Chain A
Amino acid sequence: MSTERGRHRPLSSFLVRGLALGAGVAAVAFARRWLDVVEVQGGSMAPTLLPGEWLLVERRSYSRRRPRVGEIVLAADPRDASRELIKRVAALNADAGLVELAGDAPAASTDSRTFGAVPVSGVRWRVIGRYYPPGRIRRL
């Protein structure tokens, strides 16, 4: 596929993003150490993320730096360690090593309001983007 052609023929930003994410997803097979793909279950991140959507996640960032407020992350459920939660970082207490997690749909979310702040060590994966369904391909 020629990138030259892309310049002559205008591509919608949707396609560009789609291809970028597609390439990212293809790299998953080769970069399993850092990348993974997960499916969303539950509605507490609506309307940003809906149940059944597929996401690309990476864990390289948090081996180098702390999570930032606003990032969507995967974190161990403090109430059930076998379960992984997906939430947005609402606040960071760097001194205490704690992050507060919140769902984008507060009325339908069980998060730090219920179980308190969680240890930053339990937050390892960052959500990069969504690659399925096709109409909702987006960097996050």
Chain B
Amino acid sequence: MRNPLRPTRRVHAHCDIPCGVYDPQQARIEAESCYKIIEKYNASDDELLRTRCIAVKEERAELTKHHIDVLWHDYFKPEHLEKFPDLHETCWKASKAASKVKQTTDIEAAKELLALIDKIDEMWKATGGPEKTRLQAVAA
């Protein structure tokens, strides 16, 4: 017989140190930066500016990807997946689109990234995100 003193299971005094604040606009703003930077890059002959555009775009695209991942990992819950079966697919595609934007200067890639973020934004709104995850009023 097993030792009856030994616990049979673990129970979670859980903490994910949540600030609990999420908003796809955070990703959207970084992605818009990428979009505008790509426009500027393609419109310019100034090699210095073009080089800077590449550097800044990579940084912004990485931030976009980070914000998408945070929504995916931390905000969305199993019940949201039930409501939106394409949730994983969409977040996955959006992360990949952010990588694409990081790699290229193709404006179409930036457009696709924005469209996918908007799709995530719809899911966030439909699951009560604006009320649940944004500060409604700051305590005095």
Q: Which residues of A contact B77 (CB under 8 A)?
A: 79
Could you tell me how many residues of chain A have their Cβ less than 8 Å away from some Cβ of chain B? 38
Query: Do the beta carbons of B7 and A110 come within 8 Å of each other?
Result: no
Mostly, the B contact residues are: loop
Docked-complex contact B9 and A84, CB < 8 angstroms: yes
Chain A CB within 8 A of B16 CB: yes
- Evaluate contact between B4 and A110: CB separation under 8 angstroms: no
Taking a contact as CB atoms under 8 Å apart, the answer to whether A103 and B6 are in contact is no
Cβ contact within 8 Å between A110 and B9: no
List of A residues within 8 angstroms of B11 by Cβ: 38-41, 55, 74, 84-86
- Within residues 1 to 56 of chain B, which ones have a CB less than 8 A from any CB in chain A? 1, 4-18, 20
Task: Given A29-B1, A38-B8, check contact A45 B13 (CB 8 Å).
Answer: yes
Q: Which residues of A contact B14 (CB under 8 A)?
A: 42, 44, 77, 83, 85, 103, 109-110
Q: Which of B4, B7, B15 contacts A103 (CB 8 A)?
A: B15
Bound-state CA distance A43–B13 (Å) is 6
Q: Mark A99-135, 1 if CB is under 8 A from B, else 0.
A: 0000101001110011000000000000000011000
- Residues of A at the B interface (CB closer than 8 Å) are 25-26, 28-29, 36-46, 49, 51, 54-55, 74, 77, 79-81, 83-87, 103, 105, 108-110, 113-114, 131-132
The 5 closest A-B pairs by CB, nearest first: A39-B7, A42-B13, A45-B13, A86-B11, A29-B4
